[in-house]
């Protein structure tokens, strides 16, 4: 009885500022859900004509929407996966250097530089990819084909311009590197100091301490950072559209002039000239990208929750 009276008294004494802040947070959270729902409904409504469009609206040898969007889905996932594969190890290494190896002043300077890199517009990365990266790596691609041409990914012929899916993956990796690095750095800095000191007291080297204390503590954060970077890579438009020489087909070769393009780049390149049912087809591909991104983030959330539950059980 006393507990109920105390709880009622505390609730009655709640300050107006607390009620305003609580209501504002509820409104903000509901607004996000409402906006997502409206975007999904708009895409779904505008996409319905594309699912029943005649074959001549998609081009030669394509009979339905799913054959049309399939190569674009492949290109989106393929380029994003390659970028993530390159960016995550480098980001973890940079974050560990800033958090556990670099002197304080150097760590602060590198942290500012990483944060500044995250603010660079994607069109600048696209220009860099076209003007600097592609000509620079094109001779290196020929060497890769000579050495590793027996692997399906490095089969020739080599693109003469260097504007390949591999170049796009490198550009995307540079773009998502600051996001992953910044989050991993903050996670590693939150590692309990007692865990680190205990590992060092047992005779572990600094690297062994990182393996035993820092990386296990930050595993869920690393996954979250990787998924945020993957989300940006999946939806990146301008850099891909500027660098890539697109070809709507499923192809695993990384260094040829025939490259699968992404959904976002295809929309950006074709939307200004589209009309009628063509607009609905492009919006339908946008709906597919929306669903793919949603599924990826849901899977990431499931993995993170399982990791947390496993860590709590241990």
Per the model's pLDDT, the better-predicted residue between 55 and 216 turns out to be 216
259 pairs with which residues across the strands? 246
**If you average pLDDT over residues 87-93, what whole number do you get?**
92
Average confidence score pLDDT of the chain: 82
The CA distances from residue 100 to 93, 175, 196, 222, in Å, are 10, 24, 11, 16
| Span 156-165, pLDDT tens digits | 788 778 888 8
In the DSSP assignment, the letter for residue 255 is S
The mean-pLDDT minimum among 8-17, 51-60, 186-195, 202-211 falls in 8-17
**If you average pLDDT over residues 62-87, what whole number do you get?**
86
In the DSSP assignment, the letter for residue 157 is P
The H or E element that residue 313 is part of is: helix 277-313
For residue 88, name the pLDDT band (cuts at 50, 70, 90). very high
| Span 297-306, pLDDT tens digits | 888 777 777 7
The CA distances from residue 271 to 146, 244, 267, in Å, are 40, 17, 5
Per the CB < 8 A criterion, the answer to whether 241 and 256 are in contact is no
For domain 65-308, give the CATH number.
1.10.3720.10
pLDDT at 166 > cutoff 60: yes
pLDDT confidence of residue 1: 47
Top mean pLDDT of 1-10, 86-95, 124-133 is at 86-95
The mean-pLDDT minimum among 31-35, 82-86, 225-229, 250-254 falls in 250-254
Top mean pLDDT of 6-20, 48-62, 180-194 is at 180-194
**If you average pLDDT over residues 262-267, what whole number do you get?**
85
Place of tokens 């942290």: 111
pLDDT at 101 > cutoff 90: no
pLDDT at 13 > cutoff 60: yes
The mean-pLDDT minimum among 225-229, 246-250, 284-288 falls in 246-250
**If you average pLDDT over residues 58-77, what whole number do you get?**
79
pLDDT at 98 > cutoff 80: yes
Determine the length of the chain: 314
For residue 20, name the pLDDT band (cuts at 50, 70, 90). confident
């Amino acid at each position: 009885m006393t507990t109920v009276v105390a709880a009622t008294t505390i609730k009655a004494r709640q300050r107006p500022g607390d009620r305003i802040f609580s209501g504002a947070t509820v409104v903000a959270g509901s607004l996000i859900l409402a906006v997502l729902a409206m975007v999904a409904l708009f895409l779904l409504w505008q996409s319905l004509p594309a699912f029943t469009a005649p074959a001549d609206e998609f081009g030669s040898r394509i009979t339905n929407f799913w054959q049309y969007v399939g190569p674009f889905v492949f290109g989106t996932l393929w380029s994003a996966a390659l970028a993530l594969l390159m960016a995550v190890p480098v980001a973890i290494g940079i974050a560990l250097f800033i958090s556990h190896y670099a002197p304080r002043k150097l760590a602060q300077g590198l942290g500012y530089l990483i944060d500044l890199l995250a603010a660079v517009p994607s069109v600048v990365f696209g220009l860099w990819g076209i003007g600097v990266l592609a000509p620079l790596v094109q001779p290196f691609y020929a060497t890769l084909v000579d050495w590793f041409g027996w692997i399906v990914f490095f089969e020739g012929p080599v693109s003469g311009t260097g504007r390949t899916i591999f170049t796009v993956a490198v550009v995307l990796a540079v773009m998502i590197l600051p996001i992953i690095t910044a989050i991993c750095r903050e996670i590693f800095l939150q590692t309990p100091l007692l865990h680190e000191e205990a590992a060092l007291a047992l005779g572990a080297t600094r690297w062994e301490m990182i393996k035993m204390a820092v990386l296990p503590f930050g595993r869920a954060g690393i996954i979250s950072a990787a998924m945020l970077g993957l989300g940006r890579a999946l939806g990146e438009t301008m850099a891909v559209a500027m660098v890539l020489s697109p070809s709507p087909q499923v192809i695993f070769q990384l260094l040829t002039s025939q490259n699968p393009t992404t959904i976002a780049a295809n929309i950006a390149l074709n939307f200004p000239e589209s009309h009628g049912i063509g607009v609905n087809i492009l919006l339908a591909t946008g709906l597919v990208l929306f669903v793919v991104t949603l599924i990826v983030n849901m899977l990431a959330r499931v993995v993170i929750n399982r990791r947390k539950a496993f860590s709590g059980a241990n």
